[in-house]
Amino acid sequence: MEIREKLLKFRFHIVFAFVFSLLTFSLVTYSPGFLTVLSYFWPLLLSTALFLAAVLFFARTSGNFPATSSAAGEGSFAFKAAAEGILDYVVSGELEEPLLHTSFANLD
């Protein structure tokens, strides 16, 4: 009778372990192989790799990138100011009025 009481005490643990084992076994048995997944997603992986390579190439060859700037202070400041402006535009969805006014005033 003592074994039955202990089994009833841990019944949720036993059920959880059984369900977890069943799920693990079914995932291992019925999931596709690595090469199958790779053959399905290779265009996406290739295009992502080429895009990242292009970003790195343009980042290295661009003169405004802080790592390649000769003057550490002014290049990084210009890059940070441009990045903050883009971030403000993306987050708020609109540019600030003074910034728009100065942009259009410079066109004249």
Give residue-wise pLDDT tens across range 25-40. Answer: 999 899 898 899 999 9
**Chain Cα centroid distance, residue 105:** 38
Per-residue pLDDT, averaged over 89-108, amounts to: 57
Per-residue pLDDT, 6: 84
The C-alpha atoms of residue 25 and residue 9 are separated, in whole angstroms, by 26
Per-residue pLDDT, 99: 55
Count other Cβ atoms within 10 Å, centred on residue 84: 10
pLDDT, tens digit, for every residue of 65-92? 444 444 445 555 555 666 676 666 656 6
For the chain, the domains span 1-31, 35-61, 70-108
Both tokens of 30, joined, read: 């019925």
Q: Rounded to two decimals, what is the model's pTM?
A: 0.39
Could you give the percent of the chain with pLDDT greater than 90? 35
Per-residue pLDDT, 62: 74
**Chain Cα centroid distance, residue 9:** 44
Task: Read off the DSSP letter of residue 45.
Answer: H
Q: What are phi and psi of 65, to 5 degrees?
A: -75, 130
